[in-house]
Amino acid sequence: MKMFIGGEWVDSSSGETFEDHNPFDGSLFAVVPKGDERDAARAIEAAHRAKDRWADLAPAERIQYLFKLLEVLERRGDEVVEVLVKESGSVVKKAGFEVFFTKGMIQDAIAEAKRVSGETLVSDVGKFSFYIRQPVGVVVAISPWNFPFLLSMKKVLYALVLGNTVVLKPSSDTPVVGIKIAELFEEVGLPPGVLNVVTGPGSAVGEALVTHPKVSHITLTGDAATGRRVAELAARGLKGVTLELGGNDPLIVLEDADLEQAVDAAVFGAFFHQGQICMSSKRIILEKGIAEEFTSRFVQRVKGLKVGDPSSPETDIGPVINQAQLLEVHDQVTDALNKGAKLLCGGTYNGLLYEPTVLTDVTEEMRIFKEEVFGPARPIIVAEDADQAVRIANNSIYGLSAGIITRDVPKAIEMAKRLECGMVHINDSSVHDEPHAPFGGVKSSGIGREGGKFSMAELTEIKWVTIQPFRRHYPI
């Protein structure tokens, strides 16, 4: 495999490669260039060379590439699904969803290109005064392994259509998804350098990209620790950042909830993609009156989830991404059990398949409550009432998304206002996204929002322009 820089398929400068394995069966999936600082610099230079011509195109010209991309993805979507299943352990249903959602984002990005607008302003001194929005320049997009196609494309599509050029660095667990994105855009005929894809470790390639002086903006989705590091590095160059980081999202079920609906939402919110979603429902908080009934129905359903080969269309739960992640999840479960939590199901693993796990008697001191659990293990916490549920929910360094299940919608709206997070979904799980909606979090869950006009605000620069209509009198 090769990287894509300046419209060419190239090896790493060092000639080094790394192996990419299928998490389900451990087989070798691909051998990928191990880029370093030199490759990062090559890619930035290519993006920088391409930027003025790309920015000068009319939006109507730029969107033609995205119309073509829709056609290409319609034809080649199955290839993307196959890579997602084999490289990231995504079950077929989840991989298909990534492609489906991405088509919606392409349509939204096309629309957004024509919605970019400025404003005219009054002037205190009679000038004609207005502002315009322009591309920021070279954008670095750094993406994670959990929704590697959707989340890479969320950055790439909006950046490109708004007139920026891009260097994409995919996660080292899913480099082929990044390479596949380059292939799709190559077929579209994007001019050389407008999109570049560099594979390699975050520590070397990622940091070299973030610190390169010709980069204007960095958009990262990843762990909170990575976000902090990237923010620090970007601050030295006074560069813009958009950071979509981790979450420890609550799903609150109140006593008047429709329990069937609540259980459906909880099973999906907690376990879709093995629970490896930033906005997964990671803490299930139940109002006391329904705790017993909900828990018994929930555990019954969780035990019925099909765990196994992600390429089988019936599978609900595939492998977690790698051994380190599996051991981390298991440590978090073990810590809870050692401190007195009760295991209702799961708690074991086979290869990288971790059995969907539910724990009760969880306290706020346990790691499984305090930390982001990026795998299929979920704690249940019982609250006295809605107020206490909100307090428990807010007891987190994170603040990404939340779900509230209740028939009392006005009460849920009041709770939504008090929850410290960027998104709240009433009568649904915390897992929900739409291309044009403001996706993002507060506290350690990040800075900025992505999607539609919110991406536009992050990825364009405002320029104030005035026209002096008559001769002006100056004080000196």
Residues 42-61 interacting with ligand NAD (rule: CB under 6 A)? none
Q: Does 37 bind ligand NAD (CB under 6 A)?
A: no
Residues 179-208 interacting with ligand NAD (rule: CB under 6 A)? 202-203, 206-207
For residues 143 and 315, which CB has a smaller minimum distance to ligand NAD in the complex?
143
For residues 29 and 54, which CB has a smaller minimum distance to ligand NAD in the complex?
29
- CB of 270 vs ligand NAD, minimal distance in Å: 14
Answer for the pair 196, 167: CB distance below 8 angstroms, yes or no: yes
Interacting residue with ligand NAD among 166, 210, 390, 412 (CB under 6 A): 210
Indicate the residue type of 294.
Answer: F
117-125, 190-198, 241-249, 330-338 -> range binding ligand NAD (CB under 6 A): 241-249
Pick the catalytic residue: 45, 98, 244, 328? 244
Q: Does 229 bind ligand NAD (CB under 6 A)?
A: yes
For residues 137 and 144, which CB has a smaller minimum distance to ligand NAD in the complex?
144
User: H or E stretch including 31?
Assistant: strand 28-33
Q: Does 326 bind ligand NAD (CB under 6 A)?
A: no
The three-state secondary structure class of 249 is: strand
Please, is 238 exposed, middle or buried when counting C-beta atoms within 10 Å of its C-beta (0-12, 13-18, 19+)? exposed
Interacting residue with ligand NAD among 12, 165, 226, 315 (CB under 6 A): 226
The contacts of residue 404 (CB under 8 Å, 6+ apart) are: 251, 252, 254, 412, 415, 416, 424, 425, 426, 427
Q: Does 95 bind ligand NAD (CB under 6 A)?
A: no
Q: Does 451 bind ligand NAD (CB under 6 A)?
A: no
Answer for the pair 249, 401: CB distance below 8 angstroms, yes or no: yes
Answer for the pair 247, 227: CB distance below 8 angstroms, yes or no: no
Task: Report residue 345: phi and psi, to 5°.
Answer: -165, 160
Answer for the pair 91, 99: CB distance below 8 angstroms, yes or no: no
For residues 138 and 299, which CB has a smaller minimum distance to ligand NAD in the complex?
138
Interacting residue with ligand NAD among 162, 198, 231, 245 (CB under 6 A): 245
CA neighbor of 451 nearest in space, from 270, 242, 194, 246 = 242
Q: Does 22 bind ligand NAD (CB under 6 A)?
A: no
Residues 374-413 interacting with ligand NAD (rule: CB under 6 A)? 374, 400
81-89, 138-146, 255-263, 293-301 -> range binding ligand NAD (CB under 6 A): 138-146
User: H or E stretch including 225?
Assistant: helix 224-236
Please, is 201 exposed, middle or buried when counting C-beta atoms within 10 Å of its C-beta (0-12, 13-18, 19+)? middle
Please state, in angstroms and rounded to a whole number, the distance separating the CA atoms of residues 347 and 354. 8
Q: Does 421 bind ligand NAD (CB under 6 A)?
A: no
36-44, 167-175, 262-270, 343-351 -> range binding ligand NAD (CB under 6 A): 167-175
Q: Does 178 bind ligand NAD (CB under 6 A)?
A: no
What Å distances lie between residue 120 and 4, 8, 112, 129, CA to CA?
A: 41, 43, 20, 6
Answer for the pair 392, 364: CB distance below 8 angstroms, yes or no: yes
- Beta carbons within 10 angstroms of residue 475's beta carbon: 3
User: Does the active-site annotation cover 421?
Assistant: no
The three-state secondary structure class of 142 is: strand
Interface characters, 255-284, with ligand NAD (x: CB under 6 A) = -----------------------x------
Please state, in angstroms and rounded to a whole number, the distance separating the CA atoms of residues 352 and 355. 10
3-11, 100-108, 136-144, 331-339 -> range binding ligand NAD (CB under 6 A): 136-144
- CB of 89 vs ligand NAD, minimal distance in Å: 13
Interacting residue with ligand NAD among 3, 109, 110, 142 (CB under 6 A): 142
Please state, in angstroms and rounded to a whole number, the distance separating the CA atoms of residues 381 and 221. 29
- Beta carbons within 10 angstroms of residue 464's beta carbon: 10
Q: Does 372 bind ligand NAD (CB under 6 A)?
A: yes
- Beta carbons within 10 angstroms of residue 135's beta carbon: 24
Q: Does 36 bind ligand NAD (CB under 6 A)?
A: no
Task: Report residue 381: phi and psi, to 5°.
Answer: -125, 135
- CB of 105 vs ligand NAD, minimal distance in Å: 14
Q: Does 246 bind ligand NAD (CB under 6 A)?
A: yes
User: Does the active-site annotation cover 345?
Assistant: no
Pick the catalytic residue: 45, 87, 183, 278? 278
Kindly write down the DSSP assignment for every residue of 378-401, as one continuous string.
EEEEEESSHHHHHHHHH-SSEESE
- CB of 436 vs ligand NAD, minimal distance in Å: 16
Interacting residue with ligand NAD among 96, 247, 250, 403 (CB under 6 A): 247
Total residues contacting ligand NAD (rule CB under 6 A)? 30
Question: Which letter does DSSP use for residue 282 in this model?
Answer: E
Q: Does 143 bind ligand NAD (CB under 6 A)?
A: yes
Sites of contact with ligand NAD (CB under 6 A) = 142-147, 151, 169, 171-172, 202-203, 206-207, 210, 221-223, 226, 229-230, 244-247, 278, 372, 374, 400, 446
Show which residues are catalytic.
244, 278
